[in-house]
Structure 1
Amino acid sequence: MNHPSKQSEIKRLISDKKLDLVSIIETKVFQANVVSIHRSLCPSWSLIHNYPYSPLGRIWVLWNPNQVNFKVIDTSRQAIHCSIFIIGQNITFFTSFIYAANMATERQLLWENIIHFAGLFSHSPWLIMGDFNIIPNTAETFGGSRRRCQAMDEFKDCLQQAELDDLKFSSILFSWSNKSQGAACISDRSPILVTMNFNIPHRSTAMFQVVQKLKMLKLVLRANYKKEFSEIDSKLHYVKLELDSCQLDLDKSPNDVLLREMERSLISEYLRLRKIQEDMLRQKSRMNWLKLGDCNSSFFHKSLSSRNNRKKIVSLTLDSGQIIDDMDSIKLEVVSHFQNLLGCSPPTIHHLSDLTPFFSKQVPHHLLTYLDDNPTPTEIRNYITSVSVLKSAIDHFCTMSGLAINLNKSSIFFSGTDQYTESCIISLLGIGVGTLPIRYLGVPLISTNLKTSHCSLLIEKITHRITHWTSRSLSYTGRLQLIKAILVSTQLYWSGIFILPKAVINKLNSIFSAFL
C-alpha cells in the first residue's frame, strides 16, 4: 500500500469492477500516512480502520457514501463488524472483515468473537470475508506439511457453530507463493470480489428457494442450449457439405494424410450432430405427447390413426402359401384358425351335473355320506398321531439345522375341534392358543368378513405418515404426488386382499382431502 504502483492497481480494480465497498487487509501503512494514501485512492469515499488495536492498520474499509450507509458495530485487532444499508434498494445486511493473527492462541479469541456475533446476526444475511491465516482442509495449499493440525479443526468447529458456509468461487485456487526455490509452498491468497444477489429472499420456505434456484438454472441451461444445440439442422447440413467436399478431394489424392484425418474428424462430428438431432426430435415428440396426448385434439387423433395404420392387418399368408388381402377373407380365416385351435363354442351349463363329462375322476357316491359325519375317536387319535409326526419332523429339522422355533412368537388356532383334542395337541406341540384377528404381513388375519373396526390399523398408518410430513414446505402438486405414490399404494395393498368397507374408503378420502 505504500508504493504508488499498488495504489494504482487498487484504483484500477475499483474503476473496472464498479465497486462501492472495499476492504484492504495487511496494509503495512503507518497511521501518519493514512490521510495521504486515502486521498490518492478514493478522496470522496469514507474510511474506517483498526489502528487503535494495531499500529500498522491491519484492516481498512472504504465505501462510497452515495451508494452505501456504513455503520460500525465492533472493532478489534482481528475483525471489523459492521452493518451495511444499500441506498435505493432498501437492503440491509451484516458484514465482517477479518485478518486473523498468526498465532493459534490469538486466533482462538477470533473464533469466540465470530461465534458470539453469529447469534446476534442470525436474523439477517451475514457476509464474512478476509484472511483467516488457517485453512479448513489441506486441499487449499500445495507444498509444506500435508498433515491436519489442531488449528484446522478449531477453525472448522468455529464455522460449524456459527453456521457459516464457504461460498463458491470461480478463479485459480493457488495465487500466493513464498517465492522459495525448490519445493515452493503456495496457498490461496488473492483479491476477493463478492457480488451480492438479493433476488431470493433469505427468509422463505425451502421449497420456494428451490423453485427460485431452478428458475435461475433455467436461464443458464437455456443459454447453453442456444450455444450447443441451436440451429442443429443448419450445422448438420454444413458438416455434410464439408464432408462431401473432403471426400471428393480425397478421391483425387488418396495418399493425402491430412485429408484422411480431416475426413475422419468430419465423420465423427457428423455422427455426433445426427445423434443430437435424433435425441432432440425424440424429446420433442415425448413433450408433445405429454402435453396433447390426453386431449381431444387433432394431434391425438392423428397419433391414433397412425397407430391403427401400424397395427392394421393388410394381408395374411396361409399355410399353403396363398396370400389373401381381402378384409372379409381375412376375418373368416382368423375365426377359422382360432376355432380349430381352441375348439367350438362352449356348451351351455344349466346344472352342476352338466359338468360331469368334463371330469375324468369323480368321488364315489358311497363316500359322499362320510363328508358330513362327525369324526370318530379313532379318527381323532389319527389326527393326534399326524400332529406327533409333524412335531418329530420339526425337532429333526431343528437338530440338523440348529434353528429352533420361538415358542413365544408362535400360536396355534383351532376350528371345529373339541376341547380334548385341543388339549392333546397343545400339550404335544407346546405352543399357546391364539385368537383371531392377528396381524400378518401388515394386514389383519381374520375368519370373517372385514369390518370397519379391523381397518383401524390402516387409518392409523396413513394418519401417522401425514402427521410427520411438513405440508407447508410442499406445493399442491408435491402433496398430490405424495398421496398417489405412497398413501394410495398402502390403500391398494389392503384392497388387493380385502374388500374395504365403504365407511373406511370415505374416511381415507377425507384424510387425503384434508392433507391437500
Structure 2
Amino acid sequence: MLDTFFWNVRGINDISKHRPLSSWINKRRICFGALLETHVSEGNSIAILSVLGPGWKLISNYQFSDLGKVWFVYKDPVKVQFLFADSQSITVKILPPESLPFNFTAVYASNVLDERKQLWISLKDTAISFDLSSHPWMICGDFNEILDPRESSNPSIVSSTRAMREFGSCLSDIGVFDLASQGPKFTWSNHRPSDPIGKKIDRCLVNDLWQFSYPKGFCSFEPPEFSDHTPCHIRLSSSKPEFGSRSFMFHSFLTKLPSFVSTIKECWLQSGAPAENLTYLCFKLKQLKSPIKSLCKENFSQIERRVQEAKSTLDSHQLQALNLPSQDNIELEKQSRETWLFLCLAKEMFFRQRSRIKWLEAGDLNTRFFHRITLVRNALNGVTYLLRGDGSRSQSLKEVHQIAAAHFAGILCILRGAHCLFLPEVLSRIVSTHQWSYFRVF
C-alpha cells in the first residue's frame, strides 16, 4: 500500500534542506504528496524537483502564484488526473495501483483573513463542481486557522472567534473531518524564545466515503526538522500490531441464549474456590473467556450470513405451510420464525454495541449511512497515542501498549493478598441477588 504526505517546508531553495527532505520522503517510500510554501520560482522548479530523486512529476499553481505556494508531486506507479487549481489549493484525482481511487486537495491558506475566506468558498465550489461529496475525498495542508481555542497555546485565546466558526462551517458544509492521527498537540511554532506560541493549523481531513474506502488509514505528525511546521505522513492502511494479544469483547446478545447462565455458572464453579482477593477474582474472570468465545462462535459466528439463511428457511417453510396446511408444517414455520427473529435481534444488538450510536435506540434499519458511521467511529475511537509520565506523547503503537500495561500494573499489582476481609461475602451476595443474568465480563 502506498503512503502520502504533506509538508509546509517554508522554502526549499536552501541547499541545506535538500538532503533532509529527500531522505525523509524516500525513507517512508512515499509516491505522492504536497509540498507547501516552496518559495521556488517556476524557472527553477525542475532543478529543485530533481532533488527528490528521479521520476518525480509536478503539478503546481504557478499561474496563480509566482513562488509556487502549492506543489503536488508524484511518481510511478501512481497515476494522477488534474481537476482544479487556484491561488491556495490544487485538487487532483489519485489512481493508485490495486487500491480505490480518491480525490486529493492540497491546501496552503493565506495569512490574510479575507483571502482565507475565498479559500472556504473555493472548497465548497470545488466540492459541488466535481461532486466530491459523493466520492472519497482527502484535504490536506496548512489552513492557517484553528477550529477551537484549545488548538492554540496562546493564553489570550479563550473563546471561539468568527474566523474559527467560518472555518468550521466550511468543513461541515463539505462533510469532512480530521483523520485519526498521532503526534504532537500543535503542528506549528513561532520559535520565539520570549513569546513562544504553538498552533494546530496543519490538518488532514477526509470525508466518510474516504474513511469507508480506507478504514485503517491514519496519519502521524512528525518532528519538523528544518521547518517550523510538522510534516504529516499519511498511511492509507495500517498493519496489526505485532505484540500483545487480541482484545476480548463481550457481546451483549449472548445473554439472550438460554444456555448462557448455566454455562457461565458451571465454568465459574469449576474454576476453583470462591474468590477471596482481587488477584483470584481476575483469574476466575479470565477463565470465563474461553466458554464465552465458544458460545459466540457456535451460535453467532458470521451473524449476517446466519440471518440470511434463517430468512430463506423461513420463506421455504411458510410456502410449505400455505401449500399443505398441517400441524407439523405450521409448527415448523413457527420455529423458523422464532429462529429468524432471534438472529435478527442478535444482529441488531451486535451493531448497536459496535457503533455506540445512541440514536440507534430509536430505531435503525442498518442503512448504508449507518455502516459508514460505524467505520468512522471505530477509526476515531482508536487509541493512537498515550501521554508518557513527563507529558510527552508516545510515538508508536507498541509504546501505547507498554504505557497502558505499566499503568494498570501499577494500580493492580501494588497491593497483594486479602485486603478485604468481607470480599467473599460481598461477591456471594452480588451473585445471589442478580442470579448471574446480569454478570458482565470485561
Which of structures 1 and 2 has the larger relative contact order (alpha carbons within 8 angstroms, sep 6+)?
Answer: 2
If each structure's helix is expressed as a fraction of its own residues, which one has the higher value? 1
If each structure's strand is expressed as a fraction of its own residues, which one has the higher value? 2
TM-score (norm 1): 0.42
